[in-house]
Amino acid sequence: MSKDMTYAAVMARRPEIMKKAAGLDFSVFESGSIAFDYERMMKEAGFTIEEIQKIQSEHGVGNTPVIELKNITALARKLAPKGKGARIFIKDEAANASGSFKARRASTAVYQAKKLGYKGVVTATSGNYGAAVASQAAMHGLKCIVVQECYDSKGVGQPEIIEKARKCEALGAEVIQLSVGPELFYTFLTILEETGYFNASLYTPFAIAGIETLGYEIAMQFREKYGRDPDVVLATNAGGGNLTGTARGLKKAGAQSKIVAASVDLTGLHMASDKQFNKKSFTTGHTGFGMPFATWPDRSDVPRSAARPLRYIERYLTVHQGEVFYMTEVLATLEGLEKGPAGNTALTAAFALAQEMDQDQMIVVQETEYTGAGKHIQPQLSFARENGIEIKFGDPKDEVAGQNIILPSHPSLIKVNDADVVGMRKSLIKNALNNYKVIPTEEDIEFLAKETNSDIEFVKNTIESLDN
């Protein structure tokens, strides 16, 4: 008798499908309430730093260079108050095999799939991670399927996403392109069930453990070259894995660096809206992913996400689309480095943040990505114009996502805005209560304090305010 493949039936089988495809039983880490044993999950399903370094070194991943952006630092100092203008560095993750830091995630995920005897891997992603999984799968001799949310209902795809599909196919993956909507996850589940392949999710502990070497390397490289840790490590934030893995690696190295997140402000645009899908010029690294995933990590494609950014974020900065496009051009023309848009989100925030900090301090933007035909500024801006977005020079603070892109008329206009991290912590607690519908135990309260990088008093006060 054939299986029921209706949407409702497949979604009902989700726990069974995911358990079989993940090579990991998430239920063993559960408490039966809100809390789960996050550190045990990471320890038992992850790898040591040394093991990951060996895996990555054998597959074209890791040990990427740190580059000081002396000319951009000089520009920041011209605009900063006297004595201000921290030194700005980038960790050049475009040097990885597939051209982004996501090769680190893929290296451990695909290694695990091979180790457990899976014949292939599947991932649902619009971009760099698909290319990373395809690259690592090719090295390990595994099949690879990338399920990509690519088009609106009219069949129009964003240049950056189409570019990434080209890269995935070039690396040997089968790419299944879908329009925006719930069919992405349904299709993903059916493929996992039909093929019996490994779920190379962005959010498993295998994937997040792979990024820990990034933070660890930053600490070691700065100590070797400069005799100390960087003052601030700035990470572009979307689903949270980038920041989580980097922060965990820094902590394993004993670094005291401040962890700061950065996202493009796309307030007002709904990420699952067909009509608004092509009104944005950034496919990742924006608030449409950054805020929801920070305040409820378990909305991902595994039962318990290993990406839990609010555990580590100390400050969350937002910038505008026009500012990031501008800084992408600045990086190319002043430093001779042509990089894709995601890492340049954090670079934009770093340029503004450096002007608040002393000249003897150091900021490192912890990742860059490759660039290609669809990722360049001009195709992105041309596509925006085709979709009715006004492009002009002026003050980026007047930018309205979905209506215009304002390139700064002068670099002094590049600013950062602080997201309400305290409000986000409260939202996570509220979401936990709403999703589990239980009276929180003392264990739950301790867990939520860790989840929100706060304390038990903060959690209890937040719960009390929700009750009122």
> Tens digit of pLDDT for each residue in 93-115?
999 999 999 999 999 999 999 99
| pLDDT at res. 342 | 87
pLDDT, averaged per 10 consecutive residues of the chain (468 residues), comes to: 85 87 89 96 88 97 98 98 98 96 96 96 89 97 94 86 90 92 86 95 93 98 98 97 97 97 92 81 89 94 93 98 97 96 95 98 96 88 94 97 96 98 97 95 97 97 89
**Residue whose C-alpha is closest to residue 406's, from 427, 386, 389, 419:** 389
The answer to whether 437 touches 413, Cβ cutoff 8 Å, is: no
| pLDDT at res. 315 | 97
- 272-326 pLDDT, tens digit per residue, is 777 888 888 888 899 999 999 999 999 888 889 999 999 999 999 999 999 999 9
| pLDDT at res. 452 | 98
| pLDDT at res. 22 | 85
| pLDDT at res. 151 | 86
A 10 A CB-CB count for 29 gives: 20
| pLDDT at res. 373 | 82
- Hey, what CATH class is 62-97+210-418 in? alpha beta
| pLDDT at res. 274 | 79
| Strand-strand pairing, 362-365 and 404-408 | unpaired
| pLDDT at res. 1 | 53
Q: What is the CATH number of domain 7-55+100-205?
A: 3.40.50.1100
Query: Residue 32: exposed, middle, or buried by beta-carbon count in 10 A (0-12, 13-18, 19+)?
Result: exposed
Domain ranges of the chain: 7-55+100-205, 62-97+210-418, 432-467
| pLDDT at res. 158 | 85
Single-letter amino acid code for the residue at 344: N
Total-model pTM: 0.95
Rounded to 5°, the CA angle 306-308-309 comes to 140
| Same fold? 7-55+100-205, 62-97+210-418 | yes
